[in-house]
Copies of this chain bind each other. A is one copy, B any other.
Amino acid sequence: MKDKISIIGAGLVGSLLAVILKQKGFDVQIFEKRKDPRKSGAAGGRSINLALSHRGIRPLRVAGVYEKIEPYLIPMHGRMMHDQAGELTFQPYGKEGQFINSVSRAQLNELLIESAEEAGVEVFFDHKCGDINFDSNMLHFEHGKEMKSDLIIGTDGAFSAIRKKLQFTDRFNFSQHYIEHGYKELEIQPKENTFRLEPNYLHIWPRGNFMLIALPNADKTFTCTLFFPFEGNPSFSTLKTKADVEAFFEQYFKDALELIPDLSEQFFTNPTSSLVTTKCEPWHKNRSILLGDAAHAIVPFYGQGMNSGFEDVRLFVELAEELDWNWDKILPLYSSRRKKDADAISELALHNFIEMRDHVADPDFLRRKKLESQIQEKYPKEWIPLYSMVTFSDIPYSEALKLGKLQKKVMDEFLELKESEVNYDQVIQRFNALKKGD
């Protein structure tokens, strides 16, 4: 009989992990504090959408569930910037044919839970974990049930109950840090059953210290998200009346305002939510381990929250297989190897907010993008832009972060030259020299 594995949290990461571990022959069960979303109709609420890309797709293929998910994806080939006059500018995400995919979180979660059940995983909803004993591997649920397992995996998100218990064990490092911005979701309805904006792009209204974005949904709506400071002027605290909200959108997001006739109703009905980064270490204790947001919750600005969680699943299973499923070896090694990559994507995600809300509309940024695309054209193997390393490759995040810093250094140097004076061979030589010196 193979080991009994208990997964806490039937979110995206937990459900996918369950599918794969069940396929490997383990006795897998998931405990989820919420009700079954397929019955409670969570998918019928507001649409939260995510951007699925390479690192997320790969483990979905490993699990054999990608084909089932593909029909629900809407490709986004790049950023479509909206300036204050409503003029549009397109920035591709990568090379021709490279794109990210807008997908509904609720839809994807339901498909993954379904896949887990089809694979033979038992999913227990309405099971809130009340306590965990890290010595005896015993889980205690709030309604009295107990469960002993060979391995406990906490995939219960940014406010993980398992991590909360770890936090009060000795020598557990932990931080939670909120940024000064919150967000609010707003919906653009279709018109005569067609999208109101071009669907195959991630739309951005960059406005310096704040921004609006819009991602397409399969039902031809767009989910807009306003990322905006809680305090200061303007901020959530200064938009007190419907007139305030409309005047603000009139000034900064005129073309979006026209697409949301019930803007101020939505604004005051939908919640204002906060954005947190959490870090902790170690991720494991004895036979328990955290994966995904439970281990490393990040801000959403690189579109890597789910993708990094899915990559956790792939790397964890690959290492486990390599170490012949010896959990006592796997858990500490996985944690210590993966930690630096989680820290790196955490940093990249915070930084990308500044890029999205501010730099994308900046002439210097555009010159840099142009220089970079020319370097890449001449040296497609030697020079992969940072965004592409993060989004379209398996290069460890920490390596991508390091290389991205060197690329920035090289570009800073060559941006001082006139465009006609740039020698691309020299650029790549300089980059290679910096990499070696590192």
List residues of A whose CB falls within 8 A of some B CB. Answer: 159, 167-168, 170-178, 230, 274
Contacts and interface: CB of A to CB of B under 8 A. Distances in A.
Contacts of A159: 168
A312 to B, nearest CB: 22
Nearest to A277: B173
A177 B159 CA distance: 19
Contacts of A173: 175-178
B176 A174 contact: yes
A157 to B, nearest CB: 14
Contact of A167 (B171, B172, B176, B274): B176
Nearest to A176: B174
Nearest to A276: B171
A178 B159 CA distance: 21
B178 A171 contact: yes
A178 B176 CA distance: 15
A170 B177 CA distance: 11
Contact of A175 (B168, B170, B174, B274): B174
A172 B172 CA distance: 19
A167 to B, nearest CB: 7
Nearest to A180: B171
A171 B230 CA distance: 10
Contacts of A168: 159
Contacts of A177: 173, 175
Most buried by B among A170, A171, A178: A171
Contacts of A174: 174-176
Contacts of A171: 178, 230, 274
19 contacts: A159-B168, A167-B176, A170-B178, A170-B274, A171-B178, A171-B230, A171-B274, A172-B176, A172-B178, A173-B175, A173-B176, A173-B177, A173-B178, A174-B174, A174-B175, A174-B176, A175-B175, A175-B176, A175-B177
Nearest to A275: B171
Nearest to A273: B170
Nearest to A177: B173
Contacts of A178: 170-173
Nearest to A174: B176
A277 to B, nearest CB: 10
A110 to B, nearest CB: 28
Contacts of A176: 167, 172-175
Nearest to A173: B177
Given A173-B178, A174-B175, 17 more contacts: A159-B168, A167-B176, A170-B178, A170-B274, A171-B178, A171-B230, A171-B274, A172-B176, A172-B178, A173-B175, A173-B176, A173-B177, A174-B174, A174-B176, A175-B175, A175-B176, A175-B177
Nearest to A230: B171
Contacts of A170: 178, 274
A177 B170 CA distance: 11
A274 B168 CA distance: 13
Contacts of A167: 176
Contacts of A230: 171
A385 to B, nearest CB: 33
A170 B173 CA distance: 20
A271 to B, nearest CB: 11
A274 B172 CA distance: 10
A178 B274 CA distance: 27
Most buried by B among A159, A168, A175: A175
